[in-house]
């Protein structure tokens, strides 16, 4: 299906109308960003331990000497054969940003419940460089509502994206992004979390596609996405990060 074809003058009028909406969206984004920065914080008193290539580390250790930490809750469960397609799509955009984040006093770390050897194998397959650690045996994923036990999924509701939801709509692992701050005394605070489509703006490819003539050209959220080494293969199941 092709859009209506008009004169250059008619196109310019329609484009100016869209520009007004784009400016509204930009101002709204600025307002949302300001509100995000103004959120109150919660002190993290629980001791979490993560398995890393350098040995066991605490949450405070993951900051790597910086004051800000972004944790991507990457969907890779202990018994999964590969990482989530949607999480992999987002993670393809991270390595290039690392020098800029680190220079701006921000550390990025991916966290999954899969054991470290499984994480390392998938990371090598994908060719990624960003830090990725295991929370296996820790309550971390459960406390931040991105992992769910069989007992959780057997209940009437599970809590995800700050809302009770039907277990049938959930999974043992779900995606998210959490932010933390570490002060000069070494105290750690949880400042922000975002789930479901919340971290979508981190996926630059989607932002580029939104400007293409056919947009995302999808039947459901990110159903066109494959792991970057699978595009030559037959079509696989849709992304698990809907």
In 3-state terms the chain splits into helix, strand, coil percentages (rounded to 5) of 35, 20, 45
SS3 9: helix
Does residue 57 register a pLDDT over 80?
A: yes
CA–CA dist 221, 86 (Å, integer): 10
Q: What is the pLDDT of residues 107-126, one digit of tens each?
A: 999 999 999 999 999 999 99
Does residue 234 register a pLDDT over 60?
A: no
Does residue 103 register a pLDDT over 60?
A: yes
Q: Both tokens of residue 113? A: 């419940």
Out of 72-81, 87-96, 216-225, pick the least confident.
216-225
Mean pLDDT of 7-17: 97
Does residue 238 register a pLDDT over 70?
A: no
CA–CA dist 85, 132 (Å, integer): 16
Does residue 213 register a pLDDT over 60?
A: yes
- % of residues, the chain, pLDDT over 70: 96
- % of residues, the chain, pLDDT over 90: 91
In degrees rounded to 5, what are phi and psi of residue 120? -60, -40
Q: What is the pLDDT of residues 171-180, one digit of tens each?
A: 999 999 999 9
pLDDT reported for residue 193: 98
Assign 240 a pLDDT band (cuts: 50, 70, 90).
low
Residues 6+ apart with CB under 8 A from 110: 71, 72, 74, 91, 94, 130, 131, 132, 133
What's the chain's length in residues?
242
Assign 168 a pLDDT band (cuts: 50, 70, 90).
confident
Mean pLDDT of 145-157: 93
Query: Under a CB-based contact definition with an 8 Å cutoff, are residues 188 and 44 in contact?
Result: yes
Q: What is the mean pLDDT of the chain?
A: 94
Strand residue runs (E) in the chain: 42-43, 49-52, 55-58, 68-73, 106-112, 132-134, 158-160, 163-165, 176-182, 188-195
Mean pLDDT of 170-192: 96
């Amino acid at each position: 299906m092709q859009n209506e074809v008009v004169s250059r003058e008619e196109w310019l009028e329609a484009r100016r109308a869209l520009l007004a909406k784009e400016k509204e969206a930009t101002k709204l984004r600025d307002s949302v960003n300001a509100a995000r920065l103004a959120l109150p914080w919660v002190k993290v008193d629980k001791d979490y331990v993560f398995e890393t290539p350098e040995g066991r580390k605490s949450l405070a250790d993951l900051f790597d000497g910086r004051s800000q930490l972004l944790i991507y809750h990457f969907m890779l469960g202990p018994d999964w054969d590969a990482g989530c397609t949607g999480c992999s799509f987002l993670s393809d955009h991270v390595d290039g940003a690392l020098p800029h984040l680190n220079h701006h006093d921000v550390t990025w770390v991916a966290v999954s419940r899969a054991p470290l050897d499984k994480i390392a194998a998938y990371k090598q397959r994908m060719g990624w460089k960003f830090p990725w650690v295991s929370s296996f045996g820790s309550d971390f994923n459960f406390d931040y509502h991105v992992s769910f036990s069989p007992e959780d999924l057997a209940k009437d509701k599970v809590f995800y994206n700050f809302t009770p939801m039907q277990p049938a709509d959930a999974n043992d692992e779900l995606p998210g992004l959490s932010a933390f701050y570490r002060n000069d005394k070494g105290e750690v605070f949880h400042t922000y979390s975002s789930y479901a489509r919340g971290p979508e703006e981190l996926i630059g490819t989607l932002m580029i596609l939104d400007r293409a003539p056919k947009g995302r050209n999808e039947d459901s959220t990110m159903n066109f996405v494959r792991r970057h080494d699978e595009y030559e293969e037959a079509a696989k199941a849709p992304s698990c990060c809907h």
